[in-house]
Amino acid sequence: MTQDMLVVTELCAGYAGGPVLENISLRVQRGEFVAVLGPNGSGKTTLLRAIAGVVRPGSGSVRVLGQDIHALAARKRAALCASVPQKSSGLEGLRAKAVVLMGRYPFLSFLGNYTQDDHQAAQAAMDQTQCADLCNRQCQELSGGEMQRVLVARALAQNPQLLLLDEVAAHLDVARAVDVYELLRARHSHGLTVLTVAHDLNLAALYCNRLIFMKQGHILYDGPTADIFTASVLQEIYETPLHVVAHPQTGAPQAFLVPHTAHTADSAPGLGE
Amino acid sequence: MTTHGVAWVGWGLLLALLLSVYAALFSGPFPLSAADIHNTLGRLFSGQPISTAMIVVRDLRLARIVLAVLAGACLAVSGTVFQGLLRNPLADPFTLGISSGAACGATLALTCAPAYTWIQGHLLLLTPVAALVGAFVAMILVLALSRVHGGLSRESLVLGGIVVSTFLGALISLVKAVHEESVATIVFWIMGSFQGRGWEHVGLMLPLMGLGLGCVLLFSRELDMLRLGKEQAALLGVAVTRARVGLLLGAGMLTAAAVSVSGIIGFVGLVVPHLLRVLVGADTRPLLLLSGLGGAFILLWSDVLARTILSHGAELPVGVVTALFGGPFFCLVLARTRNMT
């Protein structure tokens, strides 16, 4: 029997400037690897923040394993779901290990001392993300890819049921981006439920088994990658010509951008024009 | 720096502080031989008949040393908290106007008290108590203002601090303008000094210091997390508002404890945390501990300088000493750290 990890019911949320999410409903089963896609300003990040519990919903609810996330104390919330930000500030002067240990905060006692268990959990998380060798490095010395691995390790140290990520690969080069997705897939295959906001369509299509397309605060499409990653859906969402073909090795659908004035090789403009 | 290195810095500072306390016993206008001092130290808790040496060593020098050590620790620890909480390396214990509150309370006490004869008998502790009340009123005003304005955000706290300290500063100026005869006492108090302070003052500040330190230590892990920003801290499980209020109250109590007995001593709370952060890194708990030791050490020696640098037993306000030496020193540190990065 599958179990609902995340249930979002008729969620409306927004900021002082107006509503961003309108009537969002969504179910994620335990063990899914879901990407949320959509153009800028479609409400992806707000949805993620509402699920994480830092944006209060105007109406509707978010339940993780049956518990209303907005009614929980911050500590309990953090023990259920962990978030990896796109980038993190304020880490200057801290060692990578200290940052990963922060993920143990929800489990600390009254006095806030890290126990042997906490150190082991942090070490295990750093091993899983291949950043154990960065342990004693200062954060400001780390490259973007290394920093991102440390932040994923911090989230894993939280030992969460649900892992939320906000465009973690956005500032990484292609190899580092693939590294991060490989890492997420490895954790996913160990049973972790992963929900990530993604900008890179092709990476999402390569790694995630379910996609959610958002536009203007609504979910337009939601389903298995193979079913909904089509040229017509993508063109409706992004309003630009896109071409979809199967990946030559994996068979996953991959999107190609088409320039608005598409030129075939034989009609290339000459210099004299 | 490694954990090991940090521990060495800590032990080094502690040793330096203990040696300094001992050395500082030898400085003062009253001539005492080393044998006298050792002799007195040996009989400190024995309840022997009071001798002149005993009074000088115990009630004048040691009380003052202890007070300088405690106040220095308070200022540096609270500076560390404010710098972390406001995420601004230029914040110090006085950024939020707590010092202005204390100055205002002290000013009112210094000007009004002489008019009431029944107060005369309690004059010694009247000024520090009034300063304490002033500091608390200012702190609560800042918290309330910032809560209304923006839910204790960094910007609203600093803004509230500026508003409150400007207003209270004007109030002090007003009192000085209408009460010209007390201007000298007010100015001297505000510059900060340990002159004439004794064990009563230690007794006054110690409970508050304990409370403030407890509060800060209880929330020290949260302080570590809060510098990631409100949202990140909340995502990691920190109850942000509660942690902020706890830390502000704790650091505020430490500032109030120091300021109420010593007046406004600048630079210790700014330079010491800054310097130690460069030296040992930004991990909050070691930094709090080392800042406390460092602040105590610096203020102790500043006070020794303040009471020995002029001849014939005349004294400089210790706030002047810390600013005179702290200013150029801070520039040096800034220049060096800029070269490093």
Residues of chain B found within 8 Å of residue A49, distances taken between Cβ atoms: 231
Is the pTM above the cut of 0.95?
no
Q: Which of residues 73-92 of B touch A (CB under 8 A)?
A: 87
Exposure string over B308-317, b if 16+ CB within 10 A, otherwise e: eeeeeeebbb
Measured between CA atoms, the residue of chain B closest to residue A89 is B228
Q: Which of A72, A88, A95 to mutate to test the interface with B (most CBs of B within 10 A)?
A: A95
Q: In this structure, how many other beta carbons lie within 10 angstroms of the beta carbon of residue A106?
A: 20
| Contact across the interface for A54 and B231, Cβ inside 8 Å | yes
Residue A272 in domain: no
Please, are residues B56 and B32 in contact by the beta-carbon 8 Å criterion?
yes
pLDDT at residue B301 in the model:
93
At residue B33, the pLDDT reads 78
Question: What pLDDT, on the 0 to 100 scale, is given for residue A266?
Answer: 52
Instruction: Verify whether the Cβ–Cβ distance A102 to B2 is below 8 Å.
Output: no
Would an 8 Å CB–CB cutoff place B1 in contact with chain A? no
Which candidate from B224, B235, B282 shows the least CB-CB separation from A92? Answer: B282
Residue of B nearest to A160 (CA): B236
Of B220, B237, B283, the CB nearest to A106: B237
- pLDDT (0 to 100) of residue A139: 87
Summarize pLDDT for A148-185 with one digit per residue, the tens. Answer: 889 999 999 999 999 999 988 887 888 888 988 998 99
B337 confidence band (pLDDT: 50, 70, 90)? low
Query: Which residues of chain B are within 8 Å of residue A86 when distances are taken between CB atoms?
Result: none
Question: Given this model, what pLDDT does residue B310 score?
Answer: 81
How many domains are contained in chain A?
1
pLDDT at B217 over 50: yes
Candidate from A6-15, A258-267, B44-53, B233-242 with smallest mean pLDDT: A258-267
Residue of B nearest to A99 (CA): B225
Q: Which residues of A touch B234 (CB under 8 A)?
A: 53-54, 74
Domain of A241: which CATH number? 3.40.50.300
Asked if residue A273 is part of any domain, the answer here is: no
Q: B277 touching A, CB under 8 A? A: yes
Among A142-151, A194-203, A233-242, B115-124, the range scoring the smallest mean pLDDT is B115-124
Q: Do A90 and B229 touch (CB under 8 A)?
A: yes
Domain that holds residue A195: 4-267
Q: Is residue A216 part of a domain?
A: yes
The reply to whether B238 touches chain A by the CB within 8 Å rule is: yes
- Asked whether the beta carbons of residue A93 and residue B234 sit closer than 8 angstroms, the reply is no
SS3 B333: helix
Per-residue model confidence (pLDDT) at position B211: 94
Residue A272 scores a pLDDT above 50: no
Nearest-Cα distance to chain A for B228, in Å, is 5
- The answer to the question of residue A110 being in a domain is yes
List of residues 6+ apart from B174 with CB closer than 8 A? none
Three state DSSP letters for chain A: CCCEEEEEEEEEEEECCEEEEEEEEEEEECCCEEEEECCCCCCHHHHHHHHHCCCCEEEEEEEECCEECCCCCHHHHHHHEEEECCCCCCCCCCEHHHHHHHHHHHHCCCCCCCCHHHHHHHHHHHHHCCCHHHCCCEHHHCCHHHHHHHHHHHHHHCCCCEEEEECCCCCCCHHHHHHHHHHHHHHHHCCCEEEEECCCHHHHHHHCCEEEEEECCEEEEEEEHHHHCCHHHHHHHHCCCEEEEECCCCCCEEEEECCCCCCCHHHCCCCCC
- What pLDDT does B299 receive? 94
CB-based contact (8 Å) between B240 and chain A?
yes
CATH architecture of the domain B3-340 equals Orthogonal Bundle (1.10)
What is the per-residue pLDDT for A171?
Answer: 79
DSSP three-state, residue B34: helix
Question: Would you call B237 and A105 a contact, using CB atoms and an 8 Å cutoff?
Answer: yes
**pLDDT attached to residue B210:** 95
Residues of chain A neighbouring B218 (CB-CB closer than 8 A):
111-112
pLDDT tops 60 at residue B339 = no
Residue A202 lies in a domain: yes
Taking residues A83-109, what's their average pLDDT?
87
